[in-house]
Amino acid sequence: MTDELDIYRRQGMGGSMGLGVAPAVVVVDFVRGFADPEHFGGGNIGPAIARTAELLALARSRGWPVAHTRVVYADDGSDAGAFALKATGLAKLTETSPLSQILPEVAPVPGELVLRKRQASAFFGTELAGWLAFRRVDTLLVAGCTTSGCVRATVVDSCSHNFRTVVVTDCVGDRALGPHEANLFDMGQKYADLMSLEELRTRNLASAVS
């Protein structure tokens, strides 16, 4: 790994974006289906959900904007696209399906945005970018699942929208640890800063200004 890191460093990878002054949190797809290994869960998703409940408590105490996402398809699949062809089980995530409901321990409270999406990224085909810009957010803290899928897609798009982007490492999970660890490494080299929840607590991130 040391030799590999040297390659990245020589090529100018792995720099720090740093934290801005106006953070927000996006929680990607922590719904019942992704908490259940019989459907889309497994790996370290369960512990990540528990830690995200703590992240949300911190965000709410500071008044940071919070957005949540759900994957939601029409009952007849009429709005499904290529993503649902590759991952056919996603078609089960309809508006009223128990599998598509946000878990109680990380459920939104009044004033938090809930986005419905049909693709991997929380930004694609949603109002997330505009919602963040209106609130003058400059730093996006990302939690959710899966690390190698919808979290990664959200992180790449967040960077593309020029938000300082932080993956809260113990608040993201995947159904397998190999993809989780590989994608954390890659995102940390190219698209985001990596920070645990405890590291985040120690940073001097301001409370929201009303």
Residue type, 128: L
Among 145, 150, 159, 171, the one annotated catalytic: 150
In this prediction, residue 208 carries a pLDDT of 62
Helix (H, G, I), strand (E, B) or coil at 125: coil
Assess whether 171 carries a catalytic annotation: no
Contact status, residue 74 vs residue 94, Cβ threshold 8 Å: yes
Query: In whole angstroms, what is the distance from residue 91 CA to residue 80 CA?
Result: 7
Contact status, residue 103 vs residue 32, Cβ threshold 8 Å: yes
Mean pLDDT, contiguous 10-residue spans, the chain (210 residues): 81 91 98 95 97 98 97 94 92 96 98 97 98 98 98 98 98 97 97 97 70
What residue ranges in the chain does DSSP mark as E strands?
A: 23-28, 66-71, 113-117, 139-145, 164-173, 193-195
Residue 56 Cα distances to 13, 64, 93, 118, angstroms: 30, 9, 24, 24
165 preceded by cis ω (within 30°)?
no
In this prediction, residue 58 carries a pLDDT of 97
> Listing from the earlier edge strand, what are the strands of the sheet with 66-71?
113-117, 66-71, 23-28, 139-145, 164-173, 193-195
In this prediction, residue 210 carries a pLDDT of 43
Report the predicted TM-score, pTM, of the whole model to 2 decimal places: 0.94
Domain ranges of the chain: 21-202
In this prediction, residue 106 carries a pLDDT of 98
Query: In whole angstroms, what is the distance from residue 110 CA to residue 63 CA?
Result: 12
Which of these, 175, 171, 117, 139, lies nearest to 64 by C-alpha position?
A: 139
Architecture of domain 21-202: 3-Layer(aba) Sandwich (3.40)
In this prediction, residue 4 carries a pLDDT of 80
Contact status, residue 17 vs residue 67, Cβ threshold 8 Å: no
